[in-house]
Amino acid sequence: MTTSPKMPFLMQAVLKNIDVRGSTMGSRKEFKDMVEFVKQHKIRPVISRVLRTDLGDIAALDTLFDDMKQGSQFGKLVIEFGKLGGESKL
């Protein structure tokens, strides 16, 4: 973060599945304006591939790292954890 205040990362955010979005540059107003622009124009990132895995299969991530090493992706590489079994184990 380039501006204050520093935001602590709290476990309550994890338990509530809260998304934390940050920016390393610009002011709060510029960030707010950027978020509004993205919302207004319905801008979505290009997704190259989504890997669905559970936490026990970390080796599956190697395929994404291979994509990055080879430069074969065009867009974001996304990892979704815990989607294989359906329900949460909590």
pLDDT in tens, 25-76: 788 898 899 999 999 999 999 999 898 887 777 777 888 888 889 988 888 9
Cα gap 65→49, rounded to integer Å? 12
pTM: 0.48
- Tell me if 58 sits within 8 A of 30, measured CB to CB: no
**64/17: higher pLDDT:** 64
Residue 50: which of 40, 66, 63 has the closest Cα? 63
**Under 8 Å CB-to-CB from 55, ≥6 apart: which residues?**
81, 82
Count of other CB atoms within 10 angstroms of residue 61: 13
Cα gap 88→31, rounded to integer Å? 33
Cα gap 51→41, rounded to integer Å? 27
